[in-house]
Structures are given as C-alpha cells and as structure tokens.
Chain A
Amino acid sequence: MWTADEALVQLYAAHWRQLVRLSVLLVRDQGTAEEVVQDAFVAVHGRWGRLRDPDRALSYLRQAVVNRSRSALRHRAVVDRHAARRTTSEEEPGADQAVLAGGRRTAVLDALRALPDRQREVLALRYYLDLSEAEIAETLGISRGAVKSHASRGAATLRTLLEEEL
C-alpha cells in the first residue's frame, strides 16, 4: 500500500501529461489546464487515505480535472465579460487568432469550445481518454443514457463544424 506521497509521485508520473492534455481539450488554454490539473493532484493527495487504490485515485483525478476545468471556464467567462465591458473598442482576441493560426489543431479546439459543456466533456473522455460509456457516466455523475445522447449530439455538431478536417 502506497502512502499518499508515494501515490502522488506514481500518479503524477503516469497521468500528469495526459490529464493536462485532457484539460486543454476542455479549457483550451495550457496555462489554465496546468493550474487545474495541479489542483486536482493536490486534492487527490489529500484524499488518498480514503481512496487507497490507484484505480479509484485515477477516476477521482479525472473527475476533479473535469469539474475544475468547468469551473475555470465559468470563472474565465465572468472575467471576459468584465473585460469586454471595459474595453469596447478592442478586438476579440480568440476568434481572430484562431483564424490567423489556422490549422487542424486550432480548428478542433475551437469547435470543442462551441459545444455545450457536457457534450464537450463526454467527447473528450470518449475520444481522448477512450473511456467506456459506463466510465464516462461515473466520471460525470450522469446516466449512461445521458452520456449516449450527449455523445451523439456532440459528435454530430463537431463533424459539421469540422467538415473540412475530416
């Protein structure tokens, strides 16, 4: 049985990069993603006494990353609205940069941002982490039926948005 400190090192070595990438799919910004995942690792360390099992720790980590990514987006939306009110004449950076940068990677991240939170989360867990329906349901705390419908609606929208890339 690992101690919390040992578990932290093992989980970090195995999952840090993948979880940051998962969070990038959700929040887009790498710096935000690193913050989110760092917080999730601190949280899992604190809970290790109850988890005591790498599998359960990993599902807890995933859950923490998804939830914290969603909170980070909300927080950023508030900050952005605030900024927009104050700097009316300035261009919106997100859209323009995306057009200039172009490329498939940006297109995918943009298209994801256009989806409702749940659809984006379901798709990221399914197509990036390759989780099963049941695992996604558990991670998001929703029913398998809801996972199915979010997945099919999200995938349909995404395919339309990314027609050129597919």
Chain B
Amino acid sequence: MTDLQELFHDAVAGIEPADRLDAIQARTATPARAARRWWYAAGGVALATAATVAVVAVVSDDPAPKPGHHHGEHGMTASDPAPATQLLPVYFVGDSPVGPRLYREFDEVPAGDPLQAALDRLQRPASDPDYRVAWPDGSLTSARLGDGRIDVELGDGAPDLTADDLATQAVVYTLQAVAGDRRPVRFLHHGEVVLDDVTAAPETEVLNLVSISDPAEGAAYEGPQAMLVARGRASSYEATVPWEVRDADENVVLSGFATAEGWMDKLYPWAARIDVSDLPAGSYTFAATTSDPSGGEGTGVFTDTRTIIVR
C-alpha cells in the first residue's frame, strides 16, 4: 500500500453514511412490480456475476441484503421485492494438464448463514459443466466459526480424508473465502476430530493456474456497445493471460491477452475488456489460458472457459 493510498483510505474511514435505501426506493418504485422470489422460479441455484461478491462474502456482516419496502401507488403492499440471495465463492474440481485442480465460481444462493450456504453449495453440481462436485450430497452437514478455526461436521457419506486431498482443500478454500479469513478448518464426525486444523495449501499447488471470475456461465451481451468485462486470477508465465472467444464451431473469432498483476508465487488478478458488439448473435466460448513459453514442450496450458451468449 502506498502512502497516498493509506492517506486517502484513512481520510474517509470514519465516514458512515446514513442508510438511504428507503429514500432511493421511494424515488424508483413503480406500482406494478412483480415481487417473486425469482431464483426459486428459475429452478434452484442461479449463477450471477462476481461483481457484488463483497456484499456477502464476509461472515461477520449481515449476509442478507436489506429487504426493500414497497412504495407503490394505489395502496399496494406487495412485500419483500428484494431477492434474498447472496453470492458466494465456491471451489469445484476440474481437469488440468497436471491432473485435477480446484476451480472457483461465484454462485448465487438463497440468503442465510453464508458458511452453511457454502457447504450446501459444495454438494450440488457446479454451474460450469466442466467442473465436478467433490462432495456427495449429505457428506458435509454443518459448518460454524469456532475458536480461531472453522468447524465442519461430516455426514456419514463422507469420503476418507487427508489434509492434502483436493476435496479437503475445496472445503478449506471455499470456507476461508466465505469467512474472509484464513483461519484453519477442523473436520469432525459425530463430534470426533477427523482432521485437525487444515490450512490452505499453496495456490499454485491446488488451484488451476488460471480462473475466470467474470463472466458467469451463460452471461448474455447485447447491443451496439456490448462489452464483455472479463476478470479472473492467474499465475502465468510473465503474467501474460491469453484469452480467446470461440464460436459454436470452435473457430477463434476474437483473441488477445490480459496482463495479470504478477505471477509465480500465487494467482494474481487479471482483467480484460472485450468489445463483442460486432459478433453475430449466438453462443460462444470465452477461454482464458496460461501462456506456454515452451512451445508445447512443457506441461501444457491451463485453461478456464465460460459459455457466453451474444444476442
């Protein structure tokens, strides 16, 4: 952190603005607004973009977005128009040139205790069809913040575990990310300790070396200024993160590269803004990879992909 960064943050750290959501909603309310819990209608867990993950990915904060009040005309009293959901980072298993690795996606789940919600999400299919679930349904029963650690109670269907297992690390990475805290995870079964205080293994050893946070699987783009904003993390040779957009026939229609903030010791953020307004409507694959300086002699490139839609 630079001196100026510190000064700027300090200068306004004490500013706690009044809550004006009600006032804003009073100005934006329309009388005929459908107040459905839309994610149930959509068939369970929906996927959303990672942009708002900061809202909920911290256990100590109130996980539920403030429910809005309806200020409609005609005396309508439809209640709870706000979707009670939260966006959580969840790690699943996928393939890589060096064997299975963890991939992260941001999933929107119903509001509630974030640790418990993350645990539930770990036991259901990933939104990205390339990823697999490491934990059969019922194998993880509960999670709670304990004294300097996170305690996870295993169900009867849980596999035998070691601290290095990717499945174990999927839980550790997910819960630490949700908790916003690197405290270790203890695994218990019927109250007996199965694995004590497991810490996160180094990123470069368990994560796929490139990951896409945005776009979310199935994100749609439309209009003359349609801009695909891609973000993710990577550890790639010289911090170069090549990306491409492929059409349904796997032809590369757009390509370029992003530069991550670093490489080697861990995964660093990268971002790219891609103008997709000239693409014909259809389904495309967005792929981000690591760069391969060996020209194919090395272990190969790591890849993460998302399906995107251009309308």
Contact = CB atoms under 8 A, between A and B. Distances in A.
Interface string B5-47: 1011111101111101101110110000110001000000000
A interface, size bucket: 35 or more
A53 interface: yes
Interface in A137-166: 155, 158-159, 162, 165-166
A108 B11 contact: yes
Contacts of B33: 3, 5
Q: Is the interface of B mostly helix, strand, loop or mixed?
A: mixed
B interface, size bucket: 35 or more
Contacts of B229: 53, 55-56
B55 interface: yes
Contacts of B273: 134
B49 A38 contact: no
B10 A104 contact: yes
A42 B24 contact: yes
B17 A33 contact: yes
B21 to A, nearest CB: 5
B112 to A, nearest CB: 16
Given A1-B220, A128-B9, A128-B12, A55 B49 contact: yes
Given A9-B21, A104-B10, A24 B52 contact: no
Q: Is the interface of A mostly helix, strand, loop or mixed?
A: helix
A9 B52 CA distance: 11
A108 B11 CA distance: 6
B12 A12 contact: no
B223 interface: yes
B286 to A, nearest CB: 14
18 contacts: A1-B220, A5-B81, A11-B52, A14-B52, A16-B20, A22-B12, A25-B12, A33-B15, A33-B17, A34-B20, A37-B17, A54-B51, A55-B49, A55-B229, A108-B7, A123-B4, A128-B5, A166-B3
Given A9-B21, A25-B11, A30-B15, 17 more contacts: A2-B83, A3-B33, A13-B55, A14-B52, A16-B17, A21-B17, A37-B17, A38-B23, A42-B27, A46-B28, A52-B222, A53-B219, A56-B229, A58-B51, A104-B7, A124-B8, A166-B3
Interface of A: 1-6, 8-14, 16-17, 20-22, 24-25, 30, 33-34, 37-38, 41-42, 45-46, 50, 52-56, 58, 104-105, 108-109, 123-124, 127-128, 130, 132, 134, 155, 158-159, 162, 165-166
Interface of B: 2-5, 7-12, 14-18, 20-21, 23-25, 27-28, 33-34, 38, 48-49, 51-52, 54-55, 65-66, 68, 81-83, 214, 219-220, 222-223, 227, 229, 271, 273
